[in-house]
Amino acid sequence: MIEVEDVSKHFGDFKALDRVSLRVNQGKLVALLGPSGSGKTTLLRILAGLEQPDAGRIKLGGIDATGLGTRDRRVGFVFQHYALFRHMSVAENVAFGLKVRKGADRPSKAVIAERVHTLLNLVQLEGLAGRYPSQLSGGQRQRVALARALAVEPRLLLLDEPFGALDAQVRKDLRRWLRNLHDEMGLTGVFVTHDQEEALEVADEVVVMNKGRIEQIGTPAEIYDSPATPFVYRFLGNVNAVPCSVTGGAAQVGGLHIGGGAVDGGGTAFVRPHDVEILELSPDLPQATIRQVIVLGPVVRVEVVLPDGTVLDSEVTREHKDKLKLRRGLEVSIFLRKARVFVGG
Amino acid sequence: MTSVPLSLLRRTRVASSVIPGFGLTLGFTLTYLSLIVLLPLAALLLKAASASLDQWLAVLGDPRVLSALWLSFGGALAAAVINAVFGLLVAWVLVRYPFPGRKVVDAFVDLPFALPTAVAGIALTALYAPNGWLGRLLEPLGVKVAFTPLGVVVAMVFIGLPFVVRTVEPVLQDVDLELEEAAASLGADRLQTFFRVILPAVAPSLLTGFSLALARAVGEYGSVIFIAGNMPGVSEIAPLLIVTKLEQYDYVGATVIATIMLAISFTLLLVVNLLQKWRRARMGG
């Protein structure tokens, strides 16, 4: 288990982390998700002991690890650009962590060779033990880096944008592979990413960060379905953010009643495009005009304009589009399945 | 995730360079090298070939010649080793730590390049002479620098330093901090990180710097002859002996020594190059 308590970190005047607290349970794979400069990499490096926090404490497995250097933390760290040792073969890279052990801790040559073999099997690079990093593709290098980190049997695996430098297809494959690997090994893991899709697909739990603070912690479904803050709404998936007014506990967008608001005043309403339903023109429902219809594979993005000029994005299926013959200029009715209002936000 | 051998890619790419003119440039290169390097060396060898076996044996058997060669190559090797160690240290400090005045220190490194060697020799002699600033402090300790073989090494260290620093510096800049962090996260201590990760990464450039410093020190004349004192058989370097022989109109003797120097230098550089090649082959390019 990892516990982060009130950790802060400054770089000069820049506040990289501002009293961040976090708890990761044993065996979970957690994503730190956020834009660049949100402090996610700093938090990861603090967990690894590569940076020391200005304030706060880090506990690993119940033991205070604050102030402990990287060497003594027994964490595996996988770097974005792999950081493989270029002058060592794949096998030598993987064996490095075992070879630098001293005295009785250092396994025999046969044990090291056996372990390297097992790990290379695990990352599906059996045949490449004798190659050098310069002879490998990006995806292969990343798997070597992972095998090297796993060789020291870390109690915690940390990955910094592990797939950031790879192209889209390799990335997708590796993502699934990492998820499966994690399920097999039951290791506690934390990875940093700015790619929401990656976070939602791979992680058990997602920590959304912004400006050095944690915005929300939750399962991918929780984060996507009920974002806690406007930032999370905007950062995860497409969303319509439209100004609205709340009067008498009812929120209105362009004459459209969209639900309740706790406090009266101006605010912002967030509606996911797939929650904007497009129906045949009906006198009981608010009206809108289609401004644009874009086919994106199986889904169709429709831009509608409300009578007051507010523009909403909607996502409908191909069948739905064909059935209603949606096209530019068509008058339709809309229905918002779900919306959330943040007053003042 | 198939991998194409990089060497193959490179080879095909060379064949279709976008800039034509291989014939012309190769012709120019060969002509130029012939005129500047090969012709003088050929003249030297031709002259040496005119010497009889007896003359060769006479020169080779002369203890003064042997001691001069020994001093030149032994001193140059010692100086190059010293420069490799401390040059790496200087490069490390210049690359890794931002400190006020770093640019100035960086510029200082090039001074031995730019200074006329005679100036360097006179300055070093003034410093290390028994009544010089440093010589005065060393003399009570029983250490004599000026006018001894030690002085020769000091001068050779001085002129060779920039070669090591300037070849290692850019390579060290490329050694990512992440490599050190990766080594630390895998449990390596500082010494292990240095000897197993950093040193192997800079080793090829260090070896290049070493061989450049060595070559320069072997051929150095100006700065050494001032501090050496030039006692025959003790602190006389081979290049000076060549000049002495020339002044005595002993052209054959001078040529023979020069040829021996050429042969040893060539062998040394060849060994260094073979080492590099072996390393590259081992790393798979």
**DSSP codes joined into one string, A196-255:** HHHHHHH-SEEEEEETTEEEEEE-HHHHHHS-SSHHHHHHSS--EEEEEEEETTEEEETT
Tell me what pLDDT residue B159 has: 92
- Selecting from B1, B181, B188 the residue whose C-beta is nearest the C-beta of A100 gives B188
Out of A79, A97, A139, closest to residue B187 by CB: A97
For chain B, the 3-state helix, strand and coil shares in percent, each to the nearest 5, are 80, 0, 20
Contacts of residue A225, Cβ cutoff 8 Å, sequence gap at least 6: none
Say if residue A77 is in the same domain as residue A7. Answer: yes
Q: Is the pLDDT of residue B8 over 70?
A: no
Q: Are A83 and A160 in contact (CB under 8 A)?
A: no
Confirm whether B19 is domain-assigned.
no
Q: From A274, A270, A202, A154, select the one nearest A33 (Cα to Cα).
A: A202
- Average pLDDT over chain B, rounded to whole? 87
Which three-class secondary structure state does DSSP give residue A341? strand
How far apart CA B262 and CA A250 sit, in angstroms, is 96
* Same domain membership, residue A329 and residue A272: yes
B284 touches chain A (CB under 8 A): yes
Contact A134 B284 (CB under 8 A): yes
pLDDT band for A44, please (50, 70, 90 cuts).
Answer: very high
Residue B125: inside a domain? yes
User: pLDDT tens for residues A207-229?
Assistant: 999 999 999 999 999 998 889 99
Query: Is the minimum CB–CB distance between B154 and chain A shorter than 8 Å?
Result: no
B127 pLDDT above the threshold of 60? yes
- By C-alpha distance, the chain A residue nearest B191 is A100
Tokens encoding A182: 């994690």
Distance separating alpha carbons of residues B164 and B166, to the nearest angstrom: 6
A135: nearest CB among B2, B3, B179: B3
Residue B190 distance to chain A (closest CA, Å): 10
CB A203 within 8 A of CB A29: yes
Would B76 be classed as within a structural domain? yes
**pLDDT tens sequence across B206-255:** 999 999 999 999 989 889 999 888 888 888 999 999 999 999 998 888 99
Give me the half-sphere count of Cα atoms (radius 13 Å) on the Cβ side of residue B127: 12
- Nearest chain A residue to B178, by CA: A83
B144: CATH: 1.10.3720.10
Pair (A211, A311) in one structural domain = no
Chain segment B28-51, per-residue pLDDT in tens: 999 999 999 999 999 888 888 888
For residue B140, give how far its alpha carbon lies from the nearest alpha carbon of chain A (Å): 45
Lowest mean pLDDT among A49-53, A99-103, B197-201, B230-234: B230-234
Whether the Cβ atoms of residue A84 and residue A145 lie closer than 8 Å to each other = yes
Average pLDDT over residues B128-138: 88
Which residue out of A45, A52, A71, A156 would a mutagenesis test of the B interface target, given it has the greatest number of B Cβ atoms within 10 Å?
A: A71
Q: Which of A9, A104, A7, A109 is nearest to A56 (CA)?
A: A7
A145, A151, A156, A157 alpha-carbon torsion, rounded to 10°:
20
Do the chains contact at A70 and B184, CB–CB below 8 Å? yes
Mutate which: B6, B172, B186, vs A, most A CBs within 10 A: B186
Span A123-149, pLDDT tens digits: 889 899 999 999 999 889 999 999 999
Nearest one of A242, A215, A249 to A314, comparing CA atoms: A242
**Residues A259-270: tens digit of each pLDDT:** 665 667 778 888
* CATH number, domain with residue A200: 3.40.50.300
Both A148 and A261 in a single domain? Answer: no
CB pairs under 8 A between A and B: 88
User: What rounded mean pLDDT belongs to chain A?
Assistant: 88
Cβ–Cβ contact B198 with A under 8 A: no
pLDDT of the residue at A263: 67
CA distances to A273, B117, B152, B222, B223 from B228, rounded to whole Å, are 86, 13, 5, 11, 9
pLDDT band at A286 (very low <50, low <70, confident <90, very high): confident
Which pair of tokens denotes residue A208?
């959304």
Q: Which of B1, B2, B172, B195 to mutate to test the interface with A (most CBs of A within 10 A)?
A: B1
Domain extent at residue A182: 2-234
Is the Cβ–Cβ distance between B69 and B265 less than 8 Å?
Answer: no
- From A234, A249, A266, the end of a domain falls on A234
Q: Does the residue B31 lie in any domain?
A: no
One domain, residues A185 and A216? yes
Last residue of a domain, one of A234, A254, A276: A234
Per-residue pLDDT at A306 exceeds 60: yes
Please check whether residues A330 and A221 belong to one and the same domain: no
Query: A155 and A43 in one domain?
Result: yes
Average pLDDT estimate for B190-197: 93
Contacts of B201 in chain A (CB under 8 A): 85-87
pLDDT of residue B3: 47
Residues 6+ apart with CB under 8 A from B26: none
The tokens for B261 are 């120097």
Whether pLDDT at A181 is above 90: no
CA B81 – CA B87 distance, rounded (Å): 10
Is-above-0.90 flag for pTM?
no
Please tell me which residue, A271 or A264, carries the higher pLDDT value: A271
pLDDT at B5 over 90: no
Structure confidence by residue, pLDDT tens digits, A227-239: 999 999 988 888 8
| ipTM summary value | 0.82
DSSP reduced 3-state for A7: strand
Burial A231-258 (b: 16+ CB within 10 A, else e): bbbebbbebbebebbbeeeebbbbebeb
Mean pLDDT of A299-312: 89
Packing angle, helices A168-185 and A138-151, rounded to 10: 20
Nearest residue to A175 via CA among A139, A124, A144:
A139
Q: Would you call B98 an interface residue with chain A, using a CB distance cutoff of 8 Å? A: no
CB contacts, 8 Å: A115 with chain B: none
Q: Which residue has the tokens 């940093």?
A: A192
Specify the DSSP element, H or E, that contains B245.
helix B238-247
Residue B223 in tokens: 């700065």
Top pLDDT among A149 and B281 is at A149
pLDDT band at A290 (very low <50, low <70, confident <90, very high): very high
Number of residues in chain A: 345
Q: Is A11 on the interface with B (CB under 8 A)?
A: no
pLDDT higher than 50, residue B1: no
pLDDT tops 90 at residue A246 = no
Asked if the Cβ–Cβ distance from A79 to B200 is below 8 Å, we say no
* Average pLDDT for B160-173: 93
H helices present in A100-229, as ranges: 109-122, 138-151, 168-185, 196-202, 220-225
Number of domains forming the structure of chain A: 2
Question: B157: domain range?
Answer: 53-283
As a whole number of angstroms, the distance between CA B187 and CA B168 comes to 27
Asked if residue A90 and residue A224 are part of one domain, the reply reads yes
The domain boundary, picked from A187, A208, A234, lies at A234
Partner B contacted by A167 (CB < 8 A): no
Q: Judge residue B137's burial from the number of C-beta atoms within 10 Å of its C-beta, 0-12 exposed, 13-18 middle, 19 or more buried.
A: exposed
Tell me if B6 sits within 8 A of A136, measured CB to CB. Answer: no
Domains held by chain B: number: 1
- Cβ contact, residue pair B1, A170, below 8 Å: yes
Query: Do residue A105 and residue A217 come from a single domain?
Result: yes
A49 contact residues in B (CB cutoff 8 A): 185
Q: Examine the domain organization and report whether A98 and A183 are in the same domain.
A: yes
CB contact, 8 Å: B122 with chain A?
no
* AA letter at A40: K
Say if B201 is an interface residue toward chain A (CB within 8 Å): yes
First to last CA, chain B: 20
pLDDT at B183: 94
- How many other C-beta atoms are found inside a 10 Å radius of the C-beta of residue B271? 11
A335 and A246 share a domain? yes
Is B263 part of any domain?
yes
A279 sits in which H/E element: strand A276-279
CB-CB neighbors (< 8 A) of A76 in chain B? 185
Q: Are residues A277 and A320 in the same domain?
A: yes
Tell me which residue in A71, A83, A173 faces B187 most closely, judged by beta carbons.
A71
Does any CB of chain B come closer than 8 Å to the CB of residue A180? Answer: no
| Distance between B237 CA and the closest CA of chain A, angstroms | 39
Distance of CA A323 to the CA centre of its chain: 36
- Over residues B59-64, the mean pLDDT reads 89
What is the C-alpha separation between A80 and B34, in angstroms, rounded? 50
Q: Does B9 touch chain A (CB under 8 A)?
A: no
Task: Flag whether pLDDT at A159 surpasses 90.
Answer: yes
Fill in the amino acid letter for B278.
W
Q: Do B196 and A96 touch (CB under 8 A)?
A: yes
Q: Which residues pair with A246 in a beta bridge?
A: A251, A265
CA distances from A177 to A47, A173, A183, B129 (A): 24, 6, 10, 71
In a domain, B203, yes or no: yes
Structural domain includes residue B40: no
